[in-house]
């Protein structure tokens, strides 16, 4: 199965409010394994970059000034995603911007039925935990040391690993022994450590000397209980 994990960077939080895409990063998965194929572009948003947005992703007006507009990458983007499911963290946000740009170009929108939201999956499977991308990377032991600022391609690559872990990890099934050859299964079942040593059986019966000492001890007891008459029987 082919899937696309993607992330976007923007000038702000609202496409209807005038914000635009400035970066798209997509990673291709086939059967939950990265193929090495990616789609990555920076985009000229045709507007100034707010300081608070630049602080998040580091993309300045000067850097984006000579980049192409979304409509110039539109066909390439659509060819890459094709009809595959599209996975993002807080996917509704990214879909809103992708579809906003597609609508502005007069192209059909990406159907939200293709949307897979890893944030929703994480909230369902890890209730009470932190669900940011950084927190999930830490939880699953995914190296995020290169993530100094947000970046669409790097974040998509990290999210691809998180998505695999949220989906059950690399090990899809647990039938490891069943997958072994019959001879291997037999050896697993009967093999014993080479250092095993067998102890001789313990003898718990008393020796004649111990019996003799016990008899002498009992004979020396004064008025033992077992020597008295049974009061119930005597009555």
Q: What is the mean pLDDT of the chain?
A: 85
Give the tens place of pLDDT for each residue, 66-108. 999 999 999 999 999 999 999 999 999 999 999 999 999 999 9
pLDDT tier at 137, thresholds 50, 70, 90: very high
Give the tens place of pLDDT for each residue, 38-69. 999 999 999 999 999 999 999 999 999 999 99
User: Is 83 assigned to a binding site?
Assistant: no
Residue 207 forms part of a structural domain = no
Residue 37 forms part of a structural domain = yes
Q: Which domain holds residue 22?
A: 2-166
Give the integer Cα–Cα distance in Å for 41 and 39.
Answer: 7
User: Is 7 assigned to a binding site?
Assistant: yes
Residues recognised as catalytic: 150
Residue 149 forms part of a structural domain = yes
Residue 127 forms part of a structural domain = yes
Q: What is this structure's pTM?
A: 0.71
pLDDT-wise least confident of 4-18, 98-112, 203-217:
203-217
Structural domain tally of the chain?
A: 1
- Section 219-234 average pLDDT: 65
User: Is 57 assigned to a binding site?
Assistant: yes
**List of E strands, 61-155:** 86-88, 115-117
Residue 122 forms part of a structural domain = yes
Sheet of strand 33-42: strand arrangement? 33-42, 21-30, 2-10, 86-88, 115-117
pLDDT tier at 180, thresholds 50, 70, 90: very low
CATH number of domain containing 30: 3.30.420.10
- Side-chain half-sphere exposure of 31, counting CA atoms within 13 A: 3
> Which helix or strand (DSSP H or E) is residue 40 part of?
strand 33-42
């Amino acid at each position: 199965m082919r899937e696309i994990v993607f992330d976007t960077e923007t000038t702000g939080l609202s496409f209807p409010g005038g914000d635009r895409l400035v970066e798209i990063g997509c990673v291709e998965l086939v059967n939950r394994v990265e193929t090495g194929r990616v789609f990555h572009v920076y985009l000229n948003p045709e507007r100034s970059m707010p300081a608070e947005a630049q602080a998040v992703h580091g993309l300045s007006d000067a850097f984006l000034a000579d980049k192409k507009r979304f409509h110039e990458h539109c066909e390439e983007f659509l060819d890459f995603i094709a009809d595959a499911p599209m996975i993002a963290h807080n996917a509704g946000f990214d879909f809103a911007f992708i579809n906003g740009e597609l609508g502005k170009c007069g192209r059909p929108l990406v159907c939200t039925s293709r949307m897979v939201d890893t944030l929703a999956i994480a909230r369902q499977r890890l209730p009470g935990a932190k669900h940011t991308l950084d927190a999930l990377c830490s939880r699953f032991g995914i190296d995020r040391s290169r993530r100094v600022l947000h970046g669409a391609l790097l974040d998509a690559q990290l999210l691809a690993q998180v998505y695999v872990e949220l989906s059950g990890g690399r090990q899809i099934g647990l039938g490891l022994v069943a997958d072994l050859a019959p001879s291997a299964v037999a050896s697993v079942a009967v093999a014993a450590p080479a250092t095993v040593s067998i102890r001789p059986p313990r003898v718990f019966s008393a020796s004649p000397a111990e019996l003799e000492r016990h008899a002498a001890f009992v004979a020396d007891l004064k008025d033992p209980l077992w020597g008295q008459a049974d009061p119930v029987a005597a009555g």
